[in-house]
Structure 1
Amino acid sequence: MSKLVLAIDDDRLVHHIIDESLSEFCKLIHAKNGDEGIRQALKYHPDIILLDVEMPGLTGYEVCEKLKKCQQTADIPIMFLSSRVNLEERMRGYNAGASDYIMKPFNAEELKARIKVLYNYMQLSKRLSQDIKRAQLTAEIAMTDSGDMGRIMRFVGQSYHAHDLRTLVSYFFEFFQPFGLEVAVAFWYHNSNVFFAAEGAVQPIEQELMETHKDGNRFVDFGRRTIINYPKVSLLIKNMPIDDETLYGRYKDLFPHILEATNAKIKDMEVSEEALNKVEQIGIVFEELSEQLMGISEHQGQKLLALEAELAVLKGEIGIALSEQRVAELEKLYQHFAFLNDELSIIKFKLTEITDARHELIESLNKVAKPWGEEDVPAQTDIELF
């Protein structure tokens, strides 16, 4: 299916560049200002909107805010085109509702790639939203305790049985559902970044913001958005109730508790995965050792038969000088036993590897059984889980 893209920009040259870049890639609609762009969006409902920031009349930020407030156009991904690319401008664009932000001047391949990402995001978001709606019709959240700590205890109990990120994140979002908050989460798992959203998919600009701030402060506030950071998990809340000071403070006190528990679970999952890798390594070494032992056994069996036959001959030649041929044959037998000695040395070396891996596995399993090291115990001034 061909993508329908609306380009809103007051610069004719930009429209020409977009035409040259995308004419064979998608169907294009053009608007020369913000008001015309809004009318075109309402009329054609494009798949993606490319939006200039600086325009006469309505600015790109104002156009974006109007489109996101309109029910007919709120779900259309918007990509800002701008020569301003500092973090403040990107955050302003995100707060206005944009899904991505690309710098002018841009090349055709970069623009195509970013549009593909946004289009895939939109399709995934639609599918996930439909799945969520179906699930909400049939699912009942069994909250045995209406208190905040009761919800956290329930999550901790559920997370104990989660052994993969998708299961864990389903319990994580279940915790936030009663609060009516729009949230996204990033797991910094091993050396990869894994993103999930409670509804739809995580937008590219949201991923960028969480990656940018993940090593920053515990709380990062910008507009109605708040990011809460822990070493293994970051939470983005998109609609924090900043106008309700009491509720706002309650959430900031409460949510670090569940993030602390989630952070501990992620560390446990990483350690468990490392332990499983060690087990697999041990299995591979044992297979190699088994094959080697089988080869040695077969070779040794053949040589033992030869030695037995040679001994029988020698018994019949007692008192007779041994021939040079017999001496040579005995030399071969000696070389055979030397070979066996070398092979046994290799076996001993591999057994040492197995022993070392076994020790590492035991240490990993001990970490799983006792996930909190002394250095990991939360300080009283930071977070008290219960």
Structure 2
Amino acid sequence: MTPVEARSPLRLGASIGDFIKTVQLAVLRPLWAMIRGKELAATGLALVARLLHTNLCLGTKFWTDAGLNQLLTSPAGDVVGALVERDGKVLRVQAKRGVILAAGGFARNPEMREQYLQKPTQTEWSLTAPEDRGDAIRAAMDVGADIALMKHAWWMPCLIDNGKPMLDVYARSFPHSIIVDQSGRRYFNESECYCDAGSNMLARNGETPSIHSWLILDSRHRRKYMLGQLLPGLTPRSSITSGFLYKGSTLGGLANQIGVDEHQLQETVNRFNKFALDGVDQDFRRGLNPYNKTFSDPSHRPNPNLGTIERGPFYAVKIYPGDIGTKGGLVTDERARVLNRQGQSIKGLYATGNTTASVFGSRYPGSGGTLGPGMTFGYIAATDLAK
């Protein structure tokens, strides 16, 4: 499945082409794979599957559910192994050449989030694995490793349904939608990069309450596009009674339900609707750059990201500054060696991925911004160790 194909299921109600492509992806391809006795993997999962398959073919041993307790050091301070907890036992693992830490960040560690990340912050907003608790970072700090960029994360606006966070890359970017803070005002380009969107939510909260913000939709958005796990055209009553989705026959009625000033929200929508009709967002230029158009509806004119909000019923859903990982971590050099607080490398200790401070600093170049550096510096670390 290509990135272009992956967008069709998210807007399957927008055009016959998107509907046909969705049937092909969701029904025909899995059916053909089942007939051949195969299992399909796509996008990031396919990358991991390929790497895992290659390692298994080479005889690489994997330990799952094995937590890092501590790094072992020699009297000289070199890292020579680790204490690992597995099956209820603490095992001493000696390293012949060194240790490479590639264990993610600390997005699911509430204490570290509270200590380092911008506020407010909640582990419930993170889309990372439950095990992403910063064990490797803390173990390295215990042997003198330096850290950087700890207040930053790979921000990802998220929706929360029954306690489960869901990333929101597309719904906020499609036509017939806006995001407002709790005063009822727009404050950023809803179609911008998710990392920037999360940063804007946090920055806005220092001026006006914006956590949570509100994603406002009209009936055409619900008819055409995915929203979280809700298919286009299907809005079950349970999604409303659960508190995930708010519904109003009028915009004013919806504003009263969610506690947003009715007149301010109407004013915001009226201004936005003029932009949508003209095709130019005079406030935040939504839909006017190539990145915005990546997450849009090409069948919608004149601007594939802008659509008026005027046909009821209207909907609102809470949106939070979630994340897909933390950006801060161990400081490394060009050889992926972990550095101590004096800027010197710790012999025998290497790191890559979200365990390290991002090579991109506080910025985000786009999708794959963690995968590329993670694989590159993993290769560099292994090559350096093998010398």
Normalised by the size of structure 2, how large is the TM-score?
0.22
Return the structure number with greater helix share: 1
Return the structure number with greater strand share: 2
**Max Rg structure:** 1
Q: Which has the higher contact order (CA 8 A, sep 6+)?
A: 2
